[in-house]
Amino acid sequence: MASLILQIFLLLVIVATSQGSPVSDPPLQIHLLRSRLGSGGHHIPGVSCLSWRLGVETNNIIGWKTVPEECEDYVGHYMLGKQYREDSAVVTEEAFTHAKTFKLAGDGKDIWVFDVDETTLSNLPYYAKHGFGAELYNSTAFNQWVLTGKALALPESLKLYRKLLSVGIKVVFLTGRTEDQRAVTSHNLNAAGYHVWEHLILRSSSYSGKTAVFYKSSERAKLEKKGYRIIGNIGDQWSDLLGTSVGNRTFKLPDPMYYIS
């Protein structure tokens, strides 16, 4: 039986968005993931992919360019499987627990900062087709995907978004996407269920050559200068959460597919 199981290609669940309110379980979309012996958490000689992912998520492994080739299927199975969703739920539930501890000023200046890719929107259909990070990032192919406007909502983030709005916290989207992608990003967010926001901030050409940490720190500082109070800040990359003006508390969603400095 074990031998038979190892020969089966697993069909795993990918996140999808649910429209309207109240929030319900999202419809499922299935993508085929090619499986090799050693994926799905099994031991790979010389490489512990579980330990590698822990190092990535804790920011102890930094500056990496690609997922170790031996770990690509492991990362794929994690991202398409229930563990990724469960891990995301722990983060977003803790985020709302934090948000509820605040007595809001009532002046409309209490905000929550969300990253976009792999935070509010999920690009897993793209990665299911193009691979899970073992190859160098292909900006041309990814930007072509972005322009389709078909990224899905990460359901756990969508639930957090709706809960924050329900208690009077406004939302700001701060993304590494460039200014020329504003229209498609706005349309995609709406289609995925994010219908209201205070600001949608995209990266302008003035940040050319600057790190994501510098860019996002600078934009958060601008928000604070306008009188906004950042109650919370959530993203899938450490560069979303490090630097200055990070907010009262930060929350890191899982993402072992790529690293942005």
Q: What would the pLDDT profile of 30-53 be if each residue is shown by its tens digit?
A: 344 443 333 343 334 455 999 999
pLDDT given for residue 2 in this prediction: 35
Strand partners, 250: 233
Place of tokens 């709302």: 96
Mean pLDDT of 51-75: 95
Mean pLDDT of 115-142: 96
In degrees and rounded to multiples of 5, residue 32 shows phi and psi of -80, 130
Using DSSP, state whether 117 is helix, strand or coil. Answer: strand
pTM assigned to the model: 0.84
Mean pLDDT of 59-79: 95
pLDDT given for residue 47 in this prediction: 59
pLDDT given for residue 29 in this prediction: 42
Q: Does pLDDT of 152 surpass 50? A: yes
Taking only the tens place, the pLDDT of each residue in 164-187 is 999 999 999 999 999 999 999 999
DSSP 149-175: T-PEE-HHHHHHHHHHHHTT-EEEEEE
| Tokens describing residue 38 | 């050693």
For 210, residues 6+ apart whose C-beta sits below 8 A from its C-beta are none
Q: Does pLDDT of 163 surpass 80? A: yes
Query: What is the percent of the chain where pLDDT is above 90?
Result: 81
pLDDT band for position 15 (cuts 50, 70, 90): very low
Torsion over CA of 40, 46, 47 and 48, rounded to 10 degrees? 70
Domain ranges of the chain: 2-252
Using DSSP, state whether 230 is helix, strand or coil. Answer: strand
Architecture, CATH, for domain 2-252: 3-Layer(aba) Sandwich (3.40)
Residue 86: half-sphere exposure toward Cβ, Cα within 13 Å: 4
Place of tokens 């990724």: 84
Q: How far apart are CA 69 and CA 36, in angstroms?
A: 12
